[in-house]
């Protein structure tokens, strides 16, 4: 990397003006005013099962077909098919207005034969609706507990969480030729949507163009082509008109993925001095009609380990990865149990963690975090807090991969007038990828932050017509795209340098581009400004492609968080006072958006700790809080002071940061609540009813 860089500075998002002024068009916004090809656009809607499990005896769309404005109707299930959860797609329509489409849905006649169902994880487990146990053993497994002086055991519960992206899922499809289709999709993975849809429609992939310039979040639930995209494409082909099919909030809740719940019984054994000896966890959870409720192993050092997991099947929509999938619930279990052990040993929980933490980076982070939250001054043992309002401190750990890899093809073009265009078919899921792409190009070319913000610098992403790139999942985007763009920029600069070298009479390898000038590193006064240099180009523009280079990225991040809470012991209300979040992500590319990732992760972690949770009614098998009133998400008043400490470690290269900051938040908050109260709430969300119950104030 060049000596002076844009990397590591605070660069406002390149698309911030477009977003705050509303010029940015999300999938939900596109219509013929943003794309004339969408003239005559129809509205698609999907009829979904009203029952949690049923056989479809009859499905009759004939009335719907005759409704005003209806242009296409299709059944998605055959007669005799069995539906497995409420919200499963049964039929779809396209009509001239959204209201007509909804009316047409209610004219589709479905005769259900109700079948027995189960939506409750515990009951399903007891009924045997479960997989055989998956076991992982290290050292002597559970036998290792015989080496322990002290053992703690407890059961921890976390609910099913829903992704709730601000922009609901959906696609807008237009056929631009008999075998050419353009799809606007709110997606985390442009090229996989393109390839999957091409397969479904039996088209060559290059005949499918997928566009997602702006998107309102996905958190893992938009990481592959979902059902509505091919439905919209088929409706569109049938109707001979573009179709917009955006899901409602309720459909998002029911049918686009969820984060499985977990019931974990954890045992930890340790020596008297606090050295961890053995860990065991028996867990089960439901990914609805899919699986995937398994949990990762703890990040601490345990010579003996036993993990056993069972997936439970219930009549609810299938699971999907949600921001650091399953790590927050695992951390909640492990870090809660460690605090219970610390209390039993009479040890300071931070010291106990440092003693058993194999990560050198995280051991340093524990110390930084403890200092920033004022641990030494403020922390008092469990049960020593008195009064109506009680404060407490707690902490938790995170770990993540976040490495990148090959698969991106970036293009950097330098024009004779000095302007620079960068192109890459990645997507910005709200993390600031467009800005990262820009910073990589600016760094490769030796340009300044001011240039980055000028009209002369343009970045294009979010379109499969651009160079191929991977999905945005697993916090891999930054470490995948930065090297590819940097490589393209570096190669383009090398070509520009040839012309400058000839002009200055200096060998090209002695030229340096920095701060908007290209100069002789042996004689820095001898040089050209960027504009003077580009005017030397013999053609209108030069262009170079770049690919991921090894050596610019790393993998494996640590991280820890500390929370201070205040609990009202009369009302049970928990207020998070402050969170200190200490994270590393190798080389910090953009301090501003990196901090924003941490703030977002902590906020979502607070929401998981205190508010969120899907509620299925056992009587009807229906989700009764599939709305943002009763499925509660943290709002402005739930977000406390968040002190973000980012370790910049350029020597480790670029590493992703999107997911790790959500991992330790709930654990830290739960531990802080337990510290404040002297009693522990072992089930998320930590709502007032559970706090009052833990305090023994609820009559039984």
Partner 1 sequence: MRSFEYAKPSSVKSVLSLLGRSFEQAKVLAGGVDLLGEMKEGIISPKRVVNLKGVKDLYRLDFSEKDGLTLGALVTLTQIESHPTIIARYRALAEGAHSVATPQIRNMSTIGGNLCQRPRCWYYRHHDINCLKKGGRLCFAYNGENKYHAILGGGPCYIVHPSDCAPPLIAFDSSVTLASPRGERSLSLEDFFVLPSQRMDHETVLEPDEIVTFIKVPAPPKGTGSAYVKIREKQSFDFALVGCAAVVRMEGGVCRQARIVLAGVAPIPWRSREAEEVLEGKAITEEIAEKAGQAAVAKAEPLAQNAYKIPMTVAAVKRAILRAAGQT
Closer CB to partner 1, 539 or 619, in the complex:
619
- As measured in angstroms, the least distance from the Cβ of 121 to partner 1 is 15
E strand spans, 146-205: 150-158, 170-177, 180-185
Q: Is 249 in the site for partner 1 (CB under 8 A)?
A: no
Q: Is 407 in the site for partner 1 (CB under 8 A)?
A: no
What is the rounded CA–CA span in Å between residue 112 and residue 115? 9
Applying CB under 8 A, which part among 180-188, 373-381, 630-638, 656-664 lies near partner 1?
Answer: 630-638
- As measured in angstroms, the least distance from the Cβ of 575 to partner 1 is 8
Structure tokens of 323? Answer: 């921001």
Q: Is 96 in the site for partner 1 (CB under 8 A)?
A: no
Residue written as tokens 């943003």? 34
Q: Is 207 in the site for partner 1 (CB under 8 A)?
A: no
Contact by Cβ (8 Å): 661, 398: yes
Q: Is 619 in the site for partner 1 (CB under 8 A)?
A: yes
Applying CB under 8 A, which part among 20-28, 262-270, 283-291, 618-626 lies near partner 1?
Answer: 618-626
Please tell me whether residue 1 adopts helix, strand or coil conformation.
Answer: coil
Strand order in the sheet with 134-138: 134-138, 304-312, 276-286, 262-270, 150-158
Contacts of 62 (CB under 8 A, 6+ apart): none
Q: How many Cβ atoms from other residues are within 10 Å of residue 17's Cβ?
A: 12
Quick one: which of 71, 50, 73 has its CA closest to 62? 73
Q: Is 386 in the site for partner 1 (CB under 8 A)?
A: no
Q: Is 624 in the site for partner 1 (CB under 8 A)?
A: yes
* Residues that contact partner 1, how many (by CB under 8 A): 37
Closer CB to partner 1, 129 or 573, in the complex:
573
Q: Is 501 in the site for partner 1 (CB under 8 A)?
A: no
Quick one: which of 111, 110, 112, 91 has its CA closest to 101? 91
Q: Is 146 in the site for partner 1 (CB under 8 A)?
A: no
From residue 10 to residue 49, what is the string marking binding to partner 1 with x (rule CB under 8 A)?
A: ----------------------------------------
From residue 634 to residue 653, what is the string marking binding to partner 1 with x (rule CB under 8 A)?
A: xxxxx---------------
Closer CB to partner 1, 423 or 690, in the complex:
690
- As measured in angstroms, the least distance from the Cβ of 218 to partner 1 is 23
Q: Is 618 in the site for partner 1 (CB under 8 A)?
A: yes
Applying CB under 8 A, which part among 251-259, 277-285, 329-337, 567-575 lies near partner 1?
Answer: 567-575
Closer CB to partner 1, 655 or 691, in the complex:
691
Structure tokens of 296? Answer: 């990762």
Contact by Cβ (8 Å): 71, 243: no
Please tell me whether residue 413 adopts helix, strand or coil conformation.
Answer: strand
Sort 368 into a burial class: Cβ within 10 Å, 0-12 / 13-18 / 19+. Answer: middle
**615, 643, 649, 678: residue in contact with partner 1 (rule CB under 8 A):** 615
Structure tokens of 63? Answer: 């009335």
- As measured in angstroms, the least distance from the Cβ of 687 to partner 1 is 6
Q: Is 86 in the site for partner 1 (CB under 8 A)?
A: yes
Applying CB under 8 A, which part among 157-165, 181-189, 368-376, 609-617 lies near partner 1?
Answer: 609-617
Closer CB to partner 1, 3 or 388, in the complex:
388
Q: Is 620 in the site for partner 1 (CB under 8 A)?
A: yes
Sort 523 into a burial class: Cβ within 10 Å, 0-12 / 13-18 / 19+. Answer: exposed
Count of residues making up the chain: 700
- As measured in angstroms, the least distance from the Cβ of 627 to partner 1 is 8
Closer CB to partner 1, 498 or 617, in the complex:
617
Contact by Cβ (8 Å): 377, 648: no
**384, 571, 641, 650: residue in contact with partner 1 (rule CB under 8 A):** 571
Contact by Cβ (8 Å): 206, 184: no
Q: Is 50 in the site for partner 1 (CB under 8 A)?
A: yes
H-assigned helices in 30-120: 62-65, 98-107
Q: Is 391 in the site for partner 1 (CB under 8 A)?
A: no
Q: Is 688 in the site for partner 1 (CB under 8 A)?
A: yes
- What DSSP character marks residue 383? T
Q: Is 99 in the site for partner 1 (CB under 8 A)?
A: yes
Sort 225 into a burial class: Cβ within 10 Å, 0-12 / 13-18 / 19+. Answer: buried
Applying CB under 8 A, which part among 135-143, 170-178, 396-404, 566-574 lies near partner 1?
Answer: 566-574
- As measured in angstroms, the least distance from the Cβ of 324 to partner 1 is 23
Applying CB under 8 A, which part among 95-103, 127-135, 219-227, 552-560 lies near partner 1?
Answer: 95-103
**202, 525, 539, 700: residue in contact with partner 1 (rule CB under 8 A):** 700
Rounded to a whole number of angstroms, the CA Rg of the chain reads 28
Closer CB to partner 1, 123 or 697, in the complex:
697
What is the rounded CA–CA span in Å between residue 135 and residue 115? 33
- As measured in angstroms, the least distance from the Cβ of 689 to partner 1 is 4
Say how far residue 574 (Cα) sits from the centre of its chain. Answer: 26
Q: Is 570 in the site for partner 1 (CB under 8 A)?
A: yes
Closer CB to partner 1, 162 or 174, in the complex:
162
Q: Is 689 in the site for partner 1 (CB under 8 A)?
A: yes
What string of DSSP letters covers 589-607?
Answer: SBHHHHHHHHHHHHHHHHH
Applying CB under 8 A, which part among 96-104, 225-233, 431-439, 494-502 lies near partner 1?
Answer: 96-104
Residue written as tokens 């984060």? 259
Sort 273 into a burial class: Cβ within 10 Å, 0-12 / 13-18 / 19+. Answer: exposed
Beta-bridge partner residues of 307: 136, 281
CA dihedral 19, 24, 29, 30 (to 10 degrees): -170
**Site residues (CB under 8 A) for partner 1?**
50, 86, 99, 102-103, 570-573, 575, 611, 615, 617-620, 622, 624-625, 627, 629-630, 632, 634-638, 687-689, 692-693, 697-700
């Amino acid at each position: 990397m060049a000596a002076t860089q844009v990397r590591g500075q605070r660069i406002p998002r390149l698309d911030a003006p477009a977003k705050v002024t509303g010029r940015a068009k999300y999938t939900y916004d596109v219509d013929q005013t943003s794309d004339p090809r969408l003239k005559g656009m129809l509205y698609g809607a999907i009829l979904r099962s009203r029952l949690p499990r049923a056989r479809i005896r009859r499905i009759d769309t004939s009335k719907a077909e005759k409704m005003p404005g209806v242009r296409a109707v299709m059944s998605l299930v055959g007669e005799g098919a069995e539906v497995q959860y409420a919200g499963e797609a049964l039929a779809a329509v396209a009509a001239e207005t959204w209201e007509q489409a909804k009316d047409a849905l209610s004219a589709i006649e479905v005769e259900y034969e109700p079948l027995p169902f189960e939506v409750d994880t515990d009951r399903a487990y007891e009924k045997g609706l479960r997989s055989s146990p998956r076991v992982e053993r290290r050292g002597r497994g559970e036998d290792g507990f015989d080496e322990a002086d002290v053992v703690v055991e407890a059961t921890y519960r976390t609910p099913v969480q829903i992704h709730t992206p601000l922009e609901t899922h959906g696609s807008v499809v237009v056929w631009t030729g008999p075998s050419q289709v353009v799809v606007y999709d709110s997606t985390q993975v442009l090229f996989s949507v393109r390839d999957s849809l091409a397969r479904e429609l039996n088209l060559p992939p290059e005949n499918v163009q997928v566009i997602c310039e702006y998107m309102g979040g996905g958190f893992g639930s938009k990481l592959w082509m979902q059902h509505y995209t091919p439905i919209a494409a088929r409706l569109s082909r049938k109707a001979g008109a573009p179709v917009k099919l955006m899901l409602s909030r309720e459909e998002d809740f029911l049918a686009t993925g969820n984060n499985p719940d977990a019931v974990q019984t954890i045992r930890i054994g340790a020596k008297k001095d606090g050295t961890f000896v053995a860990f065991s966890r028996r867990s089960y959870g439901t990914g609805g009609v899919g699986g995937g409720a398994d949990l990762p192993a703890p990040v601490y050092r345990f010579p003996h380990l036993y993990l056993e997991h069972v997936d439970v099947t219930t009549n609810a929509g299938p699971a999907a990865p949600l921001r650091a999938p399953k790590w927050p619930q695992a951390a909640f279990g492990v870090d809660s149990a460690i605090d219970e052990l610390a209390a039993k040993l009479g040890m300071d929980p931070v010291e106990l963690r440092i003693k058993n933490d194999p990560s050198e980076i995280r051991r340093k982070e524990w110390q930084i975090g403890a200092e920033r939250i004022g641990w030494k001054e403020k922390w008092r043992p469990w049960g020593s807090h008195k009064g109506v309002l009680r404060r407490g401190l707690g902490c938790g750990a995170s770990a993540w991969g976040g490495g990148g890899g090959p698969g991106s093809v970036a293009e950097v073009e330098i024009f004779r007038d000095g302007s620079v265009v960068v192109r890459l078919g990645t997507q910005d899921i709200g993390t600031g990828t467009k800005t990262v792409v820009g910073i990589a190009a600016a760094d490769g070319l030796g340009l300044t932050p001011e240039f980055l913000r000028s009209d002369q610098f343009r970045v294009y992403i979010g379109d499969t017509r651009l160079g191929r790139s991977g999905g945005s999942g697993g916090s891999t985007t930054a470490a995948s795209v930065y090297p590819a763009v940097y490589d393209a920029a570096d190669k383009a600069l090398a070509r520009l340098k040839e012309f400058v070298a000839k002009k200055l009479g200096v060998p090209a390898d002695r030229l340096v581009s920095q701060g908007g000038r290209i100069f002789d590193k042996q004689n820095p006064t001898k040089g050209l400004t960027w504009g003077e240099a580009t005017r030397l180009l013999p053609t209108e523009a030069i262009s170079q492609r770049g690919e991921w280079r090894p050596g610019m990225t790393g993998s494996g991040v640590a991280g820890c968080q500390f929370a201070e809470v205040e609990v009202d012991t009369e009302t049970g209300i928990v207020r998070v006072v402050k969170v200190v979040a200490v994270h590393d992500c190798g080389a910090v590319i953009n301090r501003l958006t990196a901090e924003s990732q941490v703030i977002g992760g902590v906020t979502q972690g607070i929401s998981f700790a205190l508010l969120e949770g899907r509620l299925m009614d056992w009587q009807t098998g229906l989700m009764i809080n599939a709305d943002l009133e009763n499925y509660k998400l943290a709002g402005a008043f739930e977000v406390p002071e968040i002190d973000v400490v980012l370790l910049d470690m350029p020597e480790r290269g670029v590493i992703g940061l999107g997911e790790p900051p959500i991992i330790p938040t709930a654990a830290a908050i739960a531990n802080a609540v337990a510290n404040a109260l002297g009693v522990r709430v072992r089930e998320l969300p930590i709502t007032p009813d559970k706090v009052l119950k833990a305090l023994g104030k609820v009559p039984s």
